[in-house]
Amino acid sequence: MEIILKQDIQNLGSKDDIVTVKDGYARNYLIPKGMAVVATPSAKKMLAETIRQRAHKEEKLRQEALQLAEKMKGIKLTIGAKTSSKGKIFGSVNTIQIAEALNAQGYDIDRKNIYIKEEVIKEVGNYTAKVKLHKEVYVEIPFEVVSE
């Protein structure tokens, strides 16, 4: 079934993308939750008109995201965590701590736009996070987890 996404969905697509998914996934999950609509011919026409009108604004936002990405390339974050004597973290480090560290350096990034390659970070060490600034602009941020 072809659907039009109303919001960004990780591993599926971005807002206003037309994607093909299984019928049950669309009918039972995406459409009832308001995340997507069925891609009828009239809905596709409305989407095309909306995209055409929004294209200029999108390009401006993309350029701003590229400039921000250039500024953020030199950043290296240090995140402190309480650890045991063997270097294991009590709890884990997640996107909330990374967002707070970026906010402390003057970058207002929502935690939902930060992705960590490792599922769970439970030890001190060096890691990288991927920050989504725009649907086409990502920047890799290296960060180090240290013991407090």
Note the pLDDT tens digit of each residue in 22-53: 999 999 999 999 999 999 999 999 999 988 88
> Given this model, what pLDDT does residue 89 score?
87
**What's the whole-number average pLDDT of the chain?**
89
Class of domain 70-147: alpha beta
pLDDT of 5 > 90? The answer is: yes
Question: Residue 79, Cβ neighbours under 10 Å: how many?
Answer: 18
Nearest-CA neighbor of 71 among 21, 39, 118, 109? 109
**Stated pTM of the model:** 0.65
> Given this model, what pLDDT does residue 106 score?
86
Q: Any idea which architecture 2-61 has in CATH?
A: 3-Layer(aba) Sandwich (3.40)
> Given this model, what pLDDT does residue 39 score?
95
Nearest-CA neighbor of 115 among 139, 136, 134, 147? 139
Domain positions in the chain: 2-61, 70-147
Question: What is the per-residue pLDDT across 73-100, written as a single tens digit (0 to 9) for each?
Answer: 888 889 888 888 887 888 888 889 899 9
Sign of CA dihedral 59, 62, 68, 71: negative
> Given this model, what pLDDT does residue 111 score?
87
> Given this model, what pLDDT does residue 93 score?
87
Instruction: Provide the H-helix boundaries in 8-40.
Output: 23-25
